[in-house]
Chains A and B, each alone.
Chain A
Amino acid sequence: MKDLFRKNILWLSFILLAVFSVMVACNPEDPQPLPQGDLMDIAYSPQSYTIVKPAYFPEIPIPADNPMTLDGIQLGRRLFYDPILSADSTMSCATCHLPAGSFTDNKAVSTGIDHISGNRSAMAVLNLAYILPEDGLFWDGRAKTMEDQALGPVENPIEMHNTWTNVVEKFKKHPSYPALFRKAFGINDRSEITKELAAKAIAQFERIFVSSGKSKYDLFKAGNIDAFDDEELDGKLMFFDEGKDYNLPDAQCFHCHGSETLTGGKFFNNGLDSVGSLDEFKDLGRFNVTGNPFDKGKFRAPTLRNIALTSPYMHDGRFQTLEQVLDHYSNNGFGVVNEGAFLNNIGFPNGDGTYTGLTAYQKKALVKFLETLTDTDFISNPDIQNPF
């Protein structure tokens, strides 16, 4: 008798559950489910892609969960240039990252869709694939990876001021994006499109933004010593602190702008502001990421490759010309406690702990050297131009 009662209870529960499920599924207010497997008739045959780089550049690290494929890069390229990412469909990544400016917008600070100005200058998109996760992307390193970085601007109220939910819905309804996501990532139906996949595609595309190795500096490095005139050579010697035998001072540039990409990706207070205490910096920079008080006023030392194309300079675009930048460094900073270690000893030593700074000729030679870093083959690379 007890068993029979138990059985009936079980059956009753099962029937009630089934009825409830049908009622929930038939709620007329719910959106119609997207067709399952609607992309499966589109071929998914990813072809791996090897990034082209100068032979003397290190291998580019590729995350295991986002391998480079031709279709991934092509999707990322469209997303980078497509204003579909912004709330009013007027602004794409390329609005602030234009090829002519080595993928900057050549403005002191950028302006978003609501005409609100940001407080920092758009960074050049070049050789970012080499940045270590420990350091991260942006002026303050707040995004650990290129995938993380790609997620940021869409929802930033002073940039694209959109939501990823909205953007992903637009992708799902788009005539071509579902197929492109299928080809790039092998999804079976459009409901599988996510912001993470979009970010992966953009990151794949941005990873191919690598120097061509054909700048005048690269030609000189390759052994063509006639590529440089005397001024450019003097500039190089000072840049790399190699000028002692030629009566040239140390300009100390390479300590922060070293390596083949001419940035170590690290963060420095480069002596822009004379502050009484570190709390007085208008923009606290790296501190906002690490919480370390000594990181206040520190910003990433950007790559100097293509630096002549990326004016204005510094995180807030305060300097219009490279000459102004050299004037600044020649002053040997303000002695603020967290200024970069080599900022206060530019020039020849005076013997009393101070340094001479640079003469007009030395500054001119350094500017001429910096101009040899211009890489027009990179900015005109057809693979990274607007596909629309």
Chain B
Amino acid sequence: MKKYTIFFALISFAFLSSCGEHGAEDLGVNFDITFRATFDGAQLEKNKDYQFGSVPMFVEACRMYLSDITLLQGNREIVLSEIEYLNFTPSNAVFATPTITFKNVPEGEYTGIRLGYGVKPSLNAKRPADFSAGHPLSIENDYWAGWSSYIFTTLDGKADSDNNGSKDLSLAYHCGSNPVYKTFEFAHTIHVHAGEPGARISFDMKEFLTLADGTLYNLLIHPATSNSAADVTVAQTLTANFGRATTVEQ
């Protein structure tokens, strides 16, 4: 009888241990982040008139890749996703604010978040055919087949170059290739708990076109970038602006 009592006690202990706090923490919770593109703090809308310094302009397309979206907690890092694709201007709507749900995120208080702007080099070495349908990197439209790189950030639009009321100048900032990839960390307390609202991350496209010293990028001199050596320098400059163009909230 004593033998059986010890056996049941052990089984009960094992069962209770498996149901303890440790197990629940490992399972984690769902955590949402809503992404948004803005222009001068307001919701970015396709074809809406904006003033960029003295230059009237509008945005036609705004898309971007983010790599290694990572929650920070002291020395601890939780990678929420290796890659995400954000299309803020889908062809069937004026704007979109995509919400991504990350699953099994350990609950806790996080001190910040790190974002990789673009496709990190290990993934940029691949091509759309290497990914299953529906994967963010299977999208062909934002891949430069000729240059073996994804287009990390796309900002297309039109500007009125001579202020005569006609938006005559095409703007096309297509930033890509490994030297353009950049990461930024943002210090912000982020609570991850069941039932807690998710985070919101905004990218301000006016700030994206604003240089570190606060001067506005000269759209008229360099209205387009793609992948030539000179363009890569411009793309690096613009991507570096994401540090100031990004706002994290909860």
Interface residue ranges, A against B (CB under 8 Å)? 55-62, 130, 132, 134-136, 141, 240-242, 244, 254-255, 258-261, 264-267, 286, 289-290, 292-294, 335, 337-345, 353
Contact = CB atoms under 8 A, between A and B. Distances in A.
Interface in B114-172: 127-129, 131-134, 138-141, 143-147, 156-158, 161, 166-172
Interface in B42-56: 46-47
B138 A58 contact: yes
B75 interface: no
Contact of B46 (A286, A289, A292): A292
Given A353-B161, A353-B169, A59 B47 contact: no
B91 A343 contact: no
A264 B140 contact: yes
Contacts of A241: 146, 226-228
Contacts of B133: 58-62
A60 B168 CA distance: 39
13 contacts: A58-B129, A59-B129, A135-B91, A141-B92, A241-B227, A241-B228, A242-B146, A254-B144, A255-B174, A267-B91, A294-B46, A335-B166, A341-B171
Contacts of A60: 133
B156 A260 contact: no
Contacts of B127: 56
A266 B146 contact: no
A294 B91 CA distance: 11
A251 to B, nearest CB: 12
B224 interface: yes
A266 B142 CA distance: 11
A265 B168 contact: no
A345 B91 CA distance: 23
Contacts of A265: 141
Contacts of B226: 241, 255
A264 B94 contact: no
B91 A134 contact: yes
Interface residues on B, range: 35 or more
Contacts of A344: 168-170
10 smallest beta-carbon distances between A and B, as pairs: A259-B140, A240-B146, A264-B141, A61-B133, A341-B172, A294-B47, A58-B128, A341-B170, A59-B133, A341-B156
B46 A341 contact: no
A337 B61 CA distance: 14
Contacts of B87: 134
B234 to A, nearest CB: 15
Given A61-B134, A258-B145, A341-B60, A292 B140 contact: no
Q: Is the interface of A mostly helix, strand, loop or mixed?
A: loop
B41 interface: no
Contacts of A345: 170, 224
B90 interface: yes
Given A260-B140, A292-B47, A342 B224 contact: yes
Given A134-B92, A292-B46, A337 B131 contact: no
Contacts of B141: 258-259, 264-266
Most B CB atoms within 10 A — which of A56, A259, A267, A286? A259
A58 B131 contact: yes
A260 B47 contact: no
Nearest to B155: A341
A381 B138 CA distance: 26
A56 B158 contact: no
A257 to B, nearest CB: 11
Contacts of B131: 58-59
B225 to A, nearest CB: 11
A133 B128 CA distance: 18
Contacts of A293: 47
Interface string B171-206: 110100000000000000000000000000000000
B132 A341 contact: no
B129 to A, nearest CB: 5
Nearest to A141: B91
Contact of A58 (B140, B169, B174): B140
A306 B105 CA distance: 48
B129 A260 contact: yes
B158 A259 contact: no
A254 B172 contact: no
